[in-house]
Amino acid sequence: MNADAVDVVATGATFSDHGEHSDIELEQPSHLVQLEGRRPAHAVSHGDEVLQFFDLKGEARVFAEQALLQGKPNYDTVKAAAPHHGLVVMNDYMLVSEPDLSQPVKEGELPPRLGLKVLDKAGQQAGDVAT
Which tens digit of pLDDT belongs to each residue from 64-104? 999 999 999 999 999 999 999 999 998 888 899 999 999 99
Q: Find the mean pLDDT for residues 15-33.
A: 94
Residue spans per domain, the chain: 37-119
pTM: 0.82
Best CA proximity match to 69, nearest among 33, 94, 95: 33
Q: 40 near 4, Cβ under 8 Å? A: yes
Contact at 8 Å (CB) between 7 and 37? no
d(CA 68, CA 8): 7
Q: Average pLDDT of 24-53?
A: 95
pLDDT reading at 2 higher than 90: no
**28-42, 53-67, 78-92, range with the lowest pLDDT:** 78-92
